[in-house]
Amino acid sequence: MKKIFILVAIMLVCIAPTCFAKKQATVESQNTWTYAQEIRKFADPATENMLLRFNDGNYSQYSKDFSPQMKAAMSEEKFKDVDTAIKTKLGNYVSMEFANIDIRDSYITVSYKCKFSQESDPILISSVFIQKDGKIYVDGLWLNPLKRVDNTTNDANAVKAAE
């Protein structure tokens, strides 16, 4: 009886840490996912709002979530210039698809693959968010074209160029 008790005790000592580690990893990944969902609760609507405001040219709604620094950098006059350039080159904003979140010490960048009416390739939109005095602000917005790397397309272009 004593040998069985010792054997069970040894087995529990060996198995328990493994079970605890698996549960801990699951809890940590759930916390990370929840954190990402919390970030997207403010980032997705703020980013989509800015993109939709390019469509209708509404600066006051476009800049409503801006930090003071961002408002100073993107005046209404600059907005009109950027708006015209985007509409001329890309067309109207159509849709966005979440890409990733980059968390830094003092800011968070949330990126999306976006479609515009006059551009076949997606455009990478990155919105930068800061928190100040308990409020979340947009502190940056970048638009970068995403060019697909596709061997068949590159070969076809090379053939056309050679002709």
Residue 83 belongs to a domain with what CATH number? 3.10.450.100
The mean pLDDT of 36-64, rounded to a whole number, is 96
Q: Is residue 12 part of a domain?
A: no
Give me the number of domains the chain comprises.
1
pTM, two decimal places: 0.70
Q: Is residue 9 part of a domain?
A: no
| Residue spans of beta strands (DSSP E) within 15-162 | 93-103, 108-116, 119-132, 135-145
pLDDT, tens only, 137-154: 999 999 988 775 444 444
Q: Is residue 13 part of a domain?
A: no
- 94: domain range? 41-162
Q: Is residue 139 part of a domain?
A: yes
- The residue type of 131 is Q
pLDDT, tens only, 33-43: 578 899 999 99
Q: Is residue 33 part of a domain?
A: no
**Side-chain half-sphere exposure of 95, counting CA atoms within 13 A:** 3
The mean pLDDT of 86-94, rounded to a whole number, is 95
